[in-house]
């Protein structure tokens, strides 16, 4: 039985034998084949007949290049003229599309007319000739290109207090319009669901209009719409869902209902041009504190842990109130902490004791920390002592950051994932970024922090996740989905 | 959802599901269009109910209407649901009458009317408001009529009002109550 699958390291000997037979003097060394096939920016496939490798192909698509190259494609003499090369090219095009390539390139011998015909049938066109490229025969190489039209997608985000509408084309950010109701919530000391939902309705039209005008496109140009349908505040989510469904019907566009937290991970695609997996993602905001293991953005996102009480951002807001600082607490605490000593007071690190680690290894808890800060301040005030707000703020912030980053780095080590992505509004916190940078460097972990407009809730990240679904050929969600305020991260798309 | 042309209803869809607004809104629009045998591109303007009504459901419909009008670049008209019901009541000619609807928490949304103008629209004699049941007692001599408020009434009212030159440009939600929250105060944690 013939099967096409991903190349694994143990295939390399067989692949190298084929390489030598087929390309002879042009053959790559085994070492080159191995390193190229195992690189993070390549995808290699093998064709297997029973237990034997009878063909292979390699695609290279470096992050952020928006292009893909077919590095090699080969079928054993014994298995030619069975359409296997055609299947491999088709798979390469699918992978290039999914990797965000807008152009796909390859070289082919000018005397290999059957290969040229095959590529032409997939829409490749000759764009250049490299004279005498293949030596010693002195055969020219044709450079061929296929343009890939990546999907133009509008994303709508209304899960909390930000009304976001963003537009992406494939892996590329086109526009990202935002209206926040944060200022209205300030007097209540936190996000009030009814207030947020009212604000979304009012912000809807202006945000849609600015996303479209910023992008310089017409709504009719869109290939799909995506919308957050959870997790988040139900009443707020429903405003976005109502709008998205109406837009989908009004212009007969496919609609994708997507997961807000997975959207945060997808934001890094817009920053670097593609998402590197596996990745650990730490999402920290006023509503969420979640640690995710992302093996594949669309098919394998696992929740390692989350807060069991307050979100980290919520803790900042509550402690700011204790210290008499305004809402939102994050930037305020950052501001006063500059002059404080982070070691001045040893506040508790939630869920880090051995007994907690057994059950809550990657979970977080900030409620006890908030109470500890309040007790400390009240005790000092009752005793008539002056409270050194800068020290309290700095020490509190240190406790939050310490736990967040320690657990994230621990997860990277345990799952042997050399990459950490931060997302959510709390990534604006100066100390969080500083400690993350320092500890990731020490541990040899690559740290990814998208720019702030992509870290905080936004429509572009939802558009990005929608685009990934389109690029992977997924079916749209239909019109019948609802909001799910407590959606699990493993549910990337609602059908 | 209804598709109306003048005083003719071309398409109408309704889902009896109090908690299913977000789920059903897309199919409601699609079905009404389908029944009317027209495409979304043929719609010339959108009329939305501004309420008063249950907030979450109201917002789903309004969000859909606002977005539909925005992306088709057509006018959006706001209709006070009580006005639409008042105008549609068959036996309401020149008498005093009022329209009430459930506002939850033991209260009612209410608006009073006195007659029908030359365009056939109910004439308000009070502003829409939230009232308690005891405030209704003084109207106990009024005969009661049950009526539904549905999308047909909103569309038909809008057609009549636009023809009469009534300004329907206010398309903000008519909540009639402030969000149920109080500004936060600092609380002690230790005794």
A17 membership: H or E segment, kind and range: helix A12-23
Chain-chain contact of A482 with B26 (C-beta, under 8 angstroms): no
Q: What confidence tier does B96 reach under pLDDT thresholds 50, 70, 90? A: confident
Residue B186 pLDDT > 80, yes or no? Answer: no
Nearest by CB: B23 against A371, A378, A480? A480
Q: Identify the three-state secondary structure at position B11.
A: strand
**Is the CB of residue A331 less than 8 Å away from at least one CB of chain B?**
no
Residue by residue, DSSP assigns A278-293 as SEEEEEESSS-EEEEE
Domains belonging to chain A, first-starting first, are 2-147 (3.40.630.30), 150-495 (3.30.420.40)
Token pair of A374 as six digits: 């309040």
Question: Crossing angle, helix A389-414 and helix A430-443, to 10 degrees?
Answer: 30
CB atoms within 10 A of CB A270: 28
Question: What local confidence, expressed as pLDDT, does residue B191 receive?
Answer: 66
Q: Which residue of A has its CA nearest to B170?
A: A202
Tell me, what's the ipTM?
0.95
Question: What local confidence, expressed as pLDDT, does residue B141 receive?
Answer: 80
Q: Identify the three-state secondary structure at position A481.
A: coil
Distance (Å) from the alpha carbon of A328 to chain B's nearest alpha carbon: 13
Nearest by CB: A192 against B23, B173, B181? B181
**Mean pLDDT, all residues of chain B:** 92
Domains belonging to chain B, first-starting first, are 2-163 (3.30.420)
Residue B183 pLDDT > 80, yes or no? Answer: no
Instruction: Give A379's contacts in chain B (Cβ within 8 Å).
Output: 190
Residues 6+ apart with CB under 8 A from A231: A159, A259, A260, A261, A288, A484, A485, A486, A487
Chain-chain contact of B40 with A250 (C-beta, under 8 angstroms): yes
Residues 6+ apart with CB under 8 A from A199: A161, A163, A179, A181, A184
Picking from A153, A255, A267, A157, the residue whose alpha carbon sits closest to that of residue A212 is A153
**Is the CB of residue A183 less than 8 Å away from at least one CB of chain B?**
no
Out of A251-265, A310-324, B171-185, pick the least confident: B171-185
The most distant pair of C-alpha atoms in chain A lies apart, rounded to whole Å, by 92
Q: What confidence tier does B91 reach under pLDDT thresholds 50, 70, 90? A: low
Backbone angles phi, psi at A437, to 5 degrees: -60, -50
Q: What is the pLDDT of residues A21-60, one digit of tens each?
A: 998 888 899 999 999 999 989 999 999 999 999 999 999 9
- In chain B, the percentage of residues whose pLDDT exceeds 90 is 76
Chain-chain contact of B26 with A249 (C-beta, under 8 angstroms): yes
Q: Which positions 349-388 of A are in contact with B (Cβ < 8 Å)? A: 371, 374-375, 378-379
Question: What local confidence, expressed as pLDDT, does residue B94 receive?
Answer: 59
Contact A203, A240 (CB under 8 A): no
Token pair of A314 as six digits: 């919520």
Q: What is the pLDDT of residues A315-365, one digit of tens each?
A: 999 999 999 999 999 999 999 999 999 999 999 999 999 999 989 999 999
Distance (Å) from the alpha carbon of B43 to chain A's nearest alpha carbon: 9
Q: What is the pLDDT of residues A304-314, one digit of tens each?
A: 999 999 999 99
- In chain A, the percentage of residues whose pLDDT exceeds 70 is 100
Chain-chain contact of B40 with A197 (C-beta, under 8 angstroms): no
Residues 6+ apart with CB under 8 A from B75: B44, B45, B46, B69
Question: What local confidence, expressed as pLDDT, does residue B93 receive?
Answer: 60
List the beta bridge partners of residue A134: A139
CA dist., res. A371 & res. A389, Å (int): 16
Instruction: Return the ∠ at Cα A31 (arms to A25 and A36), rounded to 5°.
Output: 95
End-to-end CA distance of chain B: 56
Instruction: Give B105's contacts in chain A (Cβ within 8 Å).
Output: none
Chain-chain contact of A190 with B184 (C-beta, under 8 angstroms): yes
Residue A462 pLDDT > 80, yes or no? Answer: yes
Contact A310, A370 (CB under 8 A): yes
Chain-chain contact of B23 with A481 (C-beta, under 8 angstroms): yes
Residue A70 pLDDT > 70, yes or no? Answer: yes
Chain-chain contact of A255 with B33 (C-beta, under 8 angstroms): no
Instruction: Return the ∠ at Cα B26 (arms to B23 and B31), rounded to 5°.
Output: 120
Residues 6+ apart with CB under 8 A from A207: A163, A164, A165, A177, A178, A179, A459
Question: What local confidence, expressed as pLDDT, does residue B115 receive?
Answer: 87
Nearest by CB: B40 against A249, A378, A479? A249
CA dist., res. B150 & res. B184, Å (int): 39
Instruction: Give B59's contacts in chain A (Cβ within 8 Å).
Output: 197-198, 200-201, 235, 238-239, 242
Residues 6+ apart with CB under 8 A from A245: A227, A255, A479, B25, B26, B29, B64
Chain-chain contact of A246 with B59 (C-beta, under 8 angstroms): no
CB atoms within 10 A of CB A437: 13
Which residue intervals of A216-311 are DSSP H helices? Answer: 234-250, 260-272
**Mean pLDDT, all residues of chain A:** 95
Structure letter (DSSP) for residue A364: B
Residue B53 pLDDT > 80, yes or no? Answer: yes
A438 membership: H or E segment, kind and range: helix A430-443
Secondary structure string (H, E, C) spanning B84-146 = HHHHHCCCCCCCEEEEEEECCCCCEEEEEEEEECCCCCEEECCCCEEECHHHHHHHCCCCCCC
Q: What strands lie across the sheet with A446-448, from one edge to the other?
A: A300-306, A289-296, A279-284, A419-423, A446-448
Distance (Å) from the alpha carbon of B67 to chain A's nearest alpha carbon: 5
CA dist., res. A245 & res. B167, Å (int): 28
List the single best residue of A186, A235, A242 to mutate versus B (max B Cβ within 10 A): A242
Instruction: Give B63's contacts in chain A (Cβ within 8 Å).
Output: 200-201, 204, 238-243, 246
**Exposed, middle or buried: residue A472 (CB in 10 Å: 0-12, 13-18, 19+)?**
middle
Sort strands A493-494 and A42-49 into parallel, antiparallel or unpaired: unpaired
Nearest by CB: A250 against B24, B68, B182? B68
CA dist., res. A438 & res. B28, Å (int): 54
Chain-chain contact of B72 with A250 (C-beta, under 8 angstroms): yes
């Amino acid at each position: 039985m013939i099967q096409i699958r991903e190349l694994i390291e143990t295939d390399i000997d067989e692949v190298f034998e084929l390489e030598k037979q087929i390309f002879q003097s042009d053959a790559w060394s085994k070492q080159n084949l191995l390193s190229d096939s195992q690189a993070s920016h390549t995808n290699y496939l093998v064709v297997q007949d029973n237990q034997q490798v009878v063909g292979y192909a390699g695609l290279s698509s470096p992050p952020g290049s928006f292009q893909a190259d077919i590095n090699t494609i080969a079928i054993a003499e014994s298995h030619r003229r069975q359409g296997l090369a055609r299947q491999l090219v088709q798979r390469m095009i699918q992978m290039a599309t999914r990797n965000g390539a807008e152009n796909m390139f390859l070289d082919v011998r000018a005397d290999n007319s059957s290969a040229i015909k095959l590529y032409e049938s997939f829409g490749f066109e000759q764009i250049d000739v490299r004279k005498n490229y293949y030596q010693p025969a002195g055969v020219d190489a044709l450079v061929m290109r296929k343009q890939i039209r990546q999907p133009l997608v509008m994303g709508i985000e209304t899960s909390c207090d930000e009304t976001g509408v963003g537009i992406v084309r494939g892996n590329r950010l086109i526009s990202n319009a935002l209206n926040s109701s944060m200022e209205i919530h300030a007097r209540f000391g936190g996000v009030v669901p009814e207030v947020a939902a009212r604000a979304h309705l009012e912000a809807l039209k202006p945000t849609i209009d600015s996303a479209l005008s910023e992008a310089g496109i017409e709504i009719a140009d869109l290939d799909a719409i995506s919308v957050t349908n959870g997790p988040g505040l139900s009443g707020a989510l429903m405003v976005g869902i109502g709008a998205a469904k109406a837009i989908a019907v009004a212009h007969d566009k496919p609609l994708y209902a997507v997961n807000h937290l997975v959207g945060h991970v997808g934001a890094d695609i817009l920053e670097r041009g593609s998402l590197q997996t596996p990745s650990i993602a730490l999402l920290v905001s006023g509503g969420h504190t979640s640690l995710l293991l992302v093996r594949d953005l669309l098919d394998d996102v696992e929740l390692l842990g989350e807060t069991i009480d307050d979100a980290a951002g919520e803790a900042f807001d509550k402690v700011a109130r204790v210290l008499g600082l305004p809402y939102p607490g994050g930037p305020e605490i950052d501001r006063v902490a500059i002059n404080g000593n982070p070691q001045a007071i040893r506040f508790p690190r939630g869920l880090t004791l051995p007994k907690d680690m057994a059950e809550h290894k990657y979970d977080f808890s900030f409620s006890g920390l908030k109470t500890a800060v309040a007790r400390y301040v009240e005790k000092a005030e009752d005793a008539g002592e002056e409270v050194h707000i800068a020290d309290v703020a700095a020490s509190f912030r240190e406790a939050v950051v310490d736990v967040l980053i320690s657990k994230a780095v621990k997860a990277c080590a345990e799952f042997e994932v050399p990459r950490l992505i931060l997302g959510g509004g709390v990534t604006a916190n100066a100390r969080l970024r500083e400690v993350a940078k320092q500890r990731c460097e020490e541990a040899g972990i690559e740290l990814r922090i998208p720019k702030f407009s992509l870290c905080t809730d936004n429509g572009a990240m939802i558009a990005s996740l929608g685009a990934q679904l389109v690029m992977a050929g997924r079916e749209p969600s239909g019109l019948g989905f609802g909001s799910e305020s407590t959606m699990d991260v493993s549910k990337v798309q609602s059908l | 959802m209804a598709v109306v042309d003048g005083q003719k209803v071309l398409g109408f869809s309704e889902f009896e599901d109090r908690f299913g607004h977000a789920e059903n809104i897309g199919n409601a629009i699609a079905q009404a269009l389908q029944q009317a045998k027209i495409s979304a591109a043929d719609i010339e303007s959108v009329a939305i109910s501004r309420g008063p009504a249950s907030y979450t459901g109201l917002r789903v419909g309004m969000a859909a209407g606002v977005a539909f009008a925005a992306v088709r670049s057509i006018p959006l008209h706001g209709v006070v649901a009580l006005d639409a019901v008042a105008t549609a009541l068959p036996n309401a000619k020149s008498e005093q009458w009022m329209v009430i609807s459930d506002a939850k928490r033991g209260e009612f949304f209410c608006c009073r009317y006195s007659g029908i103008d030359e365009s056939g629209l109910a004439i308000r004699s009070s502003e829409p408001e939230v009232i308690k049941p005891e405030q209704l007692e003084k109207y106990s001599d009024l005969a009661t009529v049950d009526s539904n408020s549905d999308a047909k009434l909103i569309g038909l009212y809008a057609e009549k009002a636009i023809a009469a030159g009534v300004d329907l440009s206010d398309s903000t939600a008519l909540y009639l109550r402030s969000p149920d929250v109080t500004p936060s105060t600092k609380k002690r944690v230790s005794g």
